[in-house]
Chain A
């Protein structure tokens, strides 16, 4: 190995270490994390919207062939939404357009993510995992007022 090569290998390692550090800072420091791990709970079989306190809402989503339940929810501006997601049948996807919310609904499990809405509007939820004949029509709505 010559000098140029040693330099390149160490340079590559340094770049990658910087990337990893950045990722960890963003995830753990700034709190922009990914899907949380919660133990499964057999009593969660129906979709509904609940309220924890003035600013915190809890949406229990059940994905099923080929709809989200609840199909539409309404929450006030600046509120935090805890999303709990499960599936009644096959695997579904759950993506909120224009929001970095991206979850999989897997039968027998509960997925969780907390998100804050600080812009008014109608947010569209799209299923992005193949779930059968009606997959391309499987959507939901979050209205932020």
Chain B
């Protein structure tokens, strides 16, 4: 289990290093020739796949295993834990090999008709299947708990984890189809042409729920742990449960908000997905208010009386309460991340920002904000609690989230302002647009990419500081006694165990119905409005590969 926790950290070292290379290349600080152009995208593919897919999936599984064991007080079947780990691990190694050997420069969205090596597709599929195995391993544990304790409420962290993996399972089925049935045979040369629009619709069926899959472990920590860390309670037990179930129904039927600029799909269908997207903003708004209420209550319980003093009377820099710092900084970043997300989702407003620097500016405020900080904080917490080792370099540890946030502020501001000025994403600007010797030189973008580079460098330093803390902790001696626990909050309003927020089945049923409404006509349009198929291409050659 420790391995499952530490592997993502090892990969992240590579991930943030590549991030640094990207900001420096975009700003033209590192400027290579045209070979460098492709290297940039190999790096970006690895950065996206490792950070956004591999690290987050490994962490969700490791954290889920711990939550299930701790809260259900049930034995877990270790054989399946290891099978799941190795399937994910082999998948990761295959995909990493394909990318690093230059055979899968397709970015983490693997948009056809750019073609990757078959092992890339197989690797991605194995990673997903490994996470399914972990999930299936939890279901009998949950059912046994429900049978043995019919009167008890399911612990909130368990509800959150299961809701998250139900979303993940539903969302990964279509992408598994895309990868295994459409792309793999095409990549192997058994099929010559494929429908590109269909692959894009299937990818984004998965792509948006993916972001909630990253986020929900952080949400679980906000509800189940954060109140406890400030001596407070979950404001309302009912609201917490409702939030996770709302995510279950609204996080999938929204994929077209990534495809507003695409052909072949009726704008009214896109509008429908936009409306559902505002539905998925609801649980986040509820969360913002609930957590604020918990924080306020905590400050009052600790004796701070003023009306607004709860805002700053919190243990922000408490070395022994570092988990609070990681969580609260992430939460504050998420306010901006959420607001910019609402902007992106706002239909015609998306015309301004789609695929510009604004997008990575926005999503680093989510996935490289609350998500990664929760992962960082929880990884040291779990490591030190599972091994009985005390966290070393405590002051540095509690400073990490603040340094990261400082860097992220510059990083995202640069990208977002640049984006509004037209700066493209997924582009090695250093070769052309931020190169004073190029006819395509753009002086505005030179400024915005420079601000981004400063921010990215600070983030890289924060990450190095974090790895130093982790390594120092690993190198220290265990104090012997190991008593693992999560800082579990009680509920202030502990409502009755009403069936609305007790069972998964009705919510899953509603989710499936909404998905069918959102996706049956979409897939139909994608098929009807496309002519002919696409042959595979390599990024280096305008001539397709013919079988």
Give chain A's interface residues, CB within 8 Å of chain B: 1-2, 4-5, 8-9, 12-13, 15-16, 19-20, 23-24, 26-27, 32-42, 64-66, 85, 89-91, 93, 95, 97-98, 100-104, 106-112, 124, 126-137, 139
Contact = CB atoms under 8 A, between A and B. Distances in A.
A106 B200 contact: yes
A5 B342 CA distance: 23
A137 B424 CA distance: 12
Contacts of A95: 354-356, 422, 424
A40 B111 contact: no
Interface of A is mostly: mixed
Interface string B226-239: 00000000011011
Interface centre among B238, B267, B347, B529 (most CB of A within 10 A): B347
Contacts of A104: 259, 261-263, 355
A71 B239 CA distance: 56
B346 interface: yes
Contact of B531 (A36, A41, A85): A41
A36 B493 CA distance: 49
Contact of A100 (B266, B271, B352, B433): B352
B352 A33 contact: no
30 contacts: A15-B285, A23-B271, A34-B348, A34-B351, A35-B261, A35-B267, A37-B263, A37-B267, A91-B114, A100-B348, A100-B351, A101-B351, A102-B352, A103-B263, A106-B196, A108-B195, A108-B531, A109-B196, A109-B530, A111-B261, A111-B262, A130-B44, A131-B539, A132-B114, A132-B540, A132-B542, A133-B540, A136-B428, A136-B433, A137-B440
A67 to B, nearest CB: 10
A102 B539 contact: no
B392 interface: no
B101 interface: no
A98 to B, nearest CB: 7
B286 A8 contact: yes
Given A23-B348, A34-B351, A109-B264, A136 B289 contact: no
Contacts of B290: 5
B432 A23 contact: no
Interface residues of B, number: 80
Contacts of A9: 239, 286
A44 to B, nearest CB: 10
Interface in B502-547: 525, 528-534, 537-542, 544
A32 B351 CA distance: 10
B530 A108 contact: yes
B532 A137 contact: no
A38 B265 CA distance: 8
Given A20-B278, A107-B196, 9 more contacts: A5-B236, A5-B290, A37-B529, A39-B528, A102-B350, A102-B353, A109-B263, A128-B424, A135-B428
Given A41-B531, A109-B263, A110-B263, A89 B281 contact: no
A59 B259 CA distance: 22
B437 interface: no
Contacts of A85: 263
A91 B114 CA distance: 8
* Best-buried of A8, A101, A106 by chain B (most CB within 10 Å): A106
B197 A139 contact: no
B37 interface: yes
Given A90-B537, A102-B352, A128-B356, A111 B263 contact: yes
Most buried by B among A26, A40, A128, A129: A128
B171 to A, nearest CB: 22
A19 B433 contact: no
Given A111-B263, A128-B427, A133-B38, A12 B286 contact: yes
A5 B288 CA distance: 12
Contacts of B424: 93, 95, 126-128
Contact of B440 (A2, A64, A90, A139): A139
A34 B353 CA distance: 12
A28 to B, nearest CB: 8
A2 B264 contact: no
Nearest to B532: A108
B113 interface: yes
Nearest to B284: A12
Interface string B427-457: 1110111000000100000000000000000
Given A106-B196, A136-B427, A23 B346 contact: yes
A115 to B, nearest CB: 10
A58 B525 CA distance: 25
B205 interface: no
B41 interface: yes
B260 interface: yes
A118 B41 CA distance: 38
B235 A5 contact: yes
B263 A38 contact: yes
B55 interface: no
B293 interface: yes
Contacts of B107: 130
B34 interface: yes
A1 B538 CA distance: 57
A35 B286 contact: no
A65 B542 contact: yes
A34 B260 contact: yes
Nearest to A65: B542
Contact of B271 (A27, A35, A97, A134): A27
B431 A136 contact: yes
Contacts of A2: 236, 493
Nearest to B528: A39
Contacts of A131: 114, 539
Contacts of B356: 95, 128
Interface in B347-367: 347-356
A19 B278 contact: yes
A108 B533 contact: yes
A102 B429 CA distance: 19
B151 interface: no
A109 B529 contact: yes
